Amino acid sequence: MSDSPRPYVTFVLGGARSGKSRFAEGLAFQTGLERHYLATSQIFDDEMRERVALHREQRGAHWTTHEEPMALVETLAGIQSADRVILVDCLTLWVTNLMMAERDVSLESARLIDSLAAGAGHFVFVSNEVGLGIVPDNRMARQFRDHAGRLHQTLAAKADDVFFIAAGLPLKMKG
């Protein structure tokens, strides 16, 4: 860790296939810092394997990639540095992974937010906005929406910059 008082935090939110990952990658590139990509996805089938391979190819060789579906706080602590930008993609997959593993999502979310106070460097968090649609028809889906919504609100409050992406176009909401 560095002597920096806290990291610079950017939060990029949008719908599925909205262009949020590409936008976040562009922001990370603009920092001029060493780029690290922390992927939270888990590969369970060939379709997901192809999506992950496509994302890796699109990013190119200028990134160091870390794959961690659940231990986000610990992984960030191990790789953060004042001379790095770490792009975390994506928080909704992380919430899903925690729920499927029957972990305490509220506790893990609070740990993530608390860890930012002692962090170093620049973090770019990507997540899917899940609160703009209809109310889910089952308990687990409603719990997921609620966990994600609370995490998004808390992270947006702490972030230096917040962007909402729709149809590939950024709307700066904060910063």
Count Cα neighbours of 121 within 13 Å in the Cβ-side half-sphere: 22
Name, in order, each residue with C-beta under 8 angstroms of 155's C-beta and a sequence gap of 6 or more.
9, 11, 91, 112, 113, 125, 127
Strand duo 169-174 + 161-166: pairing: antiparallel
Would you call 14 helix, strand, or coil by DSSP? Answer: strand
For the question of residue 147 being annotated catalytic, the response is no
Name, in order, each residue with C-beta under 8 angstroms of 100's C-beta and a sequence gap of 6 or more.
none
DSSP 136: P
Would you call 39 helix, strand, or coil by DSSP? Answer: strand
DSSP 29: H
Catalytic site residue from 55, 66, 147, 152: 55
Catalytically active residues are 55
